[in-house]
Structure 1
């Protein structure tokens, strides 16, 4: 009887070992299947995204490209004075014009004295309190851009200048 009891646990242990081995094999197969599905789904969605991007690339190449920017410095720098609470204040501003067409910029150069006059009048009409803030400087730059674009449209018939840029700005 002792031999029968000794064999019984040995058979149960072998059966338990086979089931653990099957469980490990099933786990590995399930893991490999999950990895394969993940890689396949990723490949499917990425390859589908590339096909959708191709028409956008074709449309972008068909659209006209912007010409490179051309910068024209306005020399000498603008120096204007204004009064603030009975005190004389000065402002020095170096200005550059940004355009895309050299021929239109050359046509605007003919009218440079009028352009400089309009900018001097604009700069001298500012208040010191507004100009010491970054927002005030940006507002002045936008006003200068609008003034230059208005003159360019009036004199040359085209909006020659895209932006007016301040390359140096000193308040005293």
Structure 2
């Protein structure tokens, strides 16, 4: 029985040490959590000042197939699909409401291009700039300025 009393005292001491250690760990964790919330107000303000992530708004334009301006190789075709990245829902709604007019402007623009210009270095970027310029003109009177941020070609084949 002497062994069982010694063993139970060791167990009692071990349990007391574990209680003290776990209490200390819990106290340290609470201190750290509460200390972060009230002690460092500048980092809390920075977190609040960070803007929320906005989902991008895209307007898909169905693909075009157009005859390009004649060059030394004869008649060439352009097949292109594109999406417009816009800054707000109002711009998306205006573009969707006037989609026939948008497509007509783009068709006229694309049919006036030459294949060598489009396939050369920077040809697609130059075409994207021209698309932005064509769509910048208002489609109706009293139309607010369109917030078109980028032109994204999703398909592009010159043949």
Q: Does 1:68 align with 2:24?
A: no
Q: Which residue of 1 aligns with 2:157?
A: 170
Deviation of residue 164 (structure 1)?
1.6
TM-score norm. by structure 1 comes to 0.57
Deviation of residue 146 (structure 1)?
2.5
Q: Is the 8 A contact 1:108 1:160 kept in 2?
A: no
TM-score norm. by structure 2 comes to 0.62
Choose which of 65, 82, 96 in structure 2 pairs with 1:79: 65
Question: What does 1:143-158 correspond to in 2, within 5 Å?
Answer: 143-151=130-138, 156-158=143-145
Root-mean-square deviation (CA), in Å? 2.8
Gaps of 5+ in 2: 1-39
Choose which of 75, 79, 90 in structure 1 pairs with 2:77: 90
Q: Which residue of 1 aligns with 2:96?
A: 109
Deviation of residue 155 (structure 1)?
6.3
Q: Deviations over 1:43-67 (max 9, x none)?
A: xxxxxxxx9xx57x84684375563
User: Relative contact order: is structure 1 or structure 2 higher (C-alpha 8 Å, sep ≥ 6)?
Assistant: 2
Higher share of residues assigned helix: 1
Gaps of 5+ in 1: 1-50
Change (3 A) 1:107 1:60: farther
Larger Rg: 1
Q: How many residues align?
A: 118
Distance in 1 between residues matched to 2:152 and 2:126, nearest whole Å? 12
Q: Is the 8 A contact 1:101 1:160 kept in 2?
A: yes
Q: Which residue of 2 aligns with 1:133?
A: 120
